[in-house]
Amino acid sequence: MKYRALYLVIAFVLILSCLGCVRSNGRSYDNDTNEKFDFRIQPDTPELSNYDVILLGENHISAQIFDIELRLMQHYYSLGIRDFAFECSFGEALFFQYYFDTGDEQCYNYITRYPASERITPFNNGRAEFYKNIYLWNSALDEKIKIHGFDIEHDPYDTGIAATWFFIIKNYDQIEGMPLFSGEGIWERVGNWYRLIEDFRTNNQRYAHIKPEDAELFKKIITSVEQGLFANNWSNKLSQKDNRKRNAIIREQFMIENFREIVINARGRKVFAIAGYMHTALTGNAVYTESESQFPWISTDAPCLANVLKNEFKIASIVMRTFNNTAKWPYFIRIREWEVSEPQTSSYNSKWPF
């Protein structure tokens, strides 16, 4: 009888361990204690030689993700990766690259300027420190990292304008007749973007003196802004719920296109990418069906970036969460997912980079 009770206890413990830390073709890293998380690269971390893309899924608000992300970036850099992709727009990626290359404090204040309540990827203290640590790491490297952004432009009237000015327009004398960015409110500034996009695409002569490399940057910034304007559907009269569902589907489709372009343009180089875990699942759609009751505006029909692109590239999907579904994420790092760091207090003065 006593052995039967012992066997039952052992079976119960095994079941709990399977529920909390599942393993399938990869490593589960357990961190459910109250001790400081000390992440270590394990021998069965996804082998770079087996994949084109290492895709790391996060819950944007978790406090424990940043040390893991930096260590994995450093690990895969040591194996040869130089291309790192973030869930951000093309314009944001330009500012990240500028900060990581220069350490410019005004740029740092700019890229960490958003309160958590106004940001899809909130800038809490952990994230702000993460970017500073990337700069410190990159500054010591002989071969610098390359940052890519594959999201749409969520802030065309802010980041889009700032990127266009800082990386393109300020390097030239006034471009005669170019539509201006000025506007009293968000709707006027969005309207000016539509006019600039149309002008850039139809008045080639006006922009003919811009260097080819700057013209290419300009085109990519405008494309990202155009995606954001279309995906966020500024003029649509649908209900908020239906409108946001439609936006989620279109946004994911654009993200898939943008990520595909990054990998193709890498020309055989491997890519390490970080995104919200809903974009990184290898099965199913971008949002769980059970999220519908909690977030009724979220579409469960949005195609998942990783699930679509796994048919084109060899993708290793790692997720950092409390519990896991190994069919979606074969590699699992268990963290205290809902432990968050303090909100970021920004020093941005609302003027840079203009």
Residue 265 per-residue DSSP state? H
In this prediction, residue 178 carries a pLDDT of 84
**For residue 202, what is the enclosing H or E element?**
helix 186-202
Mind listing the pLDDT tens digit of every residue in the chain (354 residues)? 545 555 554 454 444 444 333 333 444 444 444 444 556 677 668 999 999 999 999 998 888 999 999 999 999 999 999 999 999 999 999 999 999 999 999 999 999 887 543 444 445 678 889 999 999 999 999 999 999 999 999 888 788 889 999 999 888 887 888 886 665 556 677 778 888 889 999 998 899 999 999 999 999 999 999 999 888 765 554 445 567 777 888 899 999 999 999 999 999 999 999 999 999 999 988 764 444 445 554 556 778 999 999 999 999 999 999 998 999 999 999 999 888 877 767 778 778 898
Kindly give, in sequence order, each residue whose CB lies less than 8 Å from that of residue 152, ignoring residues fewer than 6 positions away. Answer: 89, 224, 227, 228, 231, 232, 251, 254, 255, 258
Kindly give, in sequence order, each residue whose CB lies less than 8 Å from that of residue 260, ignoring residues fewer than 6 positions away. Answer: 309, 312
Which CATH code is given to the segment(s) 23-152+248-354?
3.40.50
**For residue 254, what is the enclosing H or E element?**
helix 240-265
Residue 203 per-residue DSSP state? -
Instruction: Report domain extents, the chain.
Output: 23-152+248-354, 154-231
In this prediction, residue 134 carries a pLDDT of 98
C-alpha distances in angstroms, 67 versus 126, 133, 144?
A: 9, 10, 20
The one-letter code for the residue type at 2 is K
In this prediction, residue 248 carries a pLDDT of 82
Read off the tokens for 327: 């069919």
Instruction: Put residue 252 in one of left, alpha, beta given phi > 0 → left and psi -120 to 50 → alpha.
Output: alpha
Q: Which segments of 79-185 does DSSP mark as H helices, in order?
A: 90-102, 105-111, 125-139, 161-167
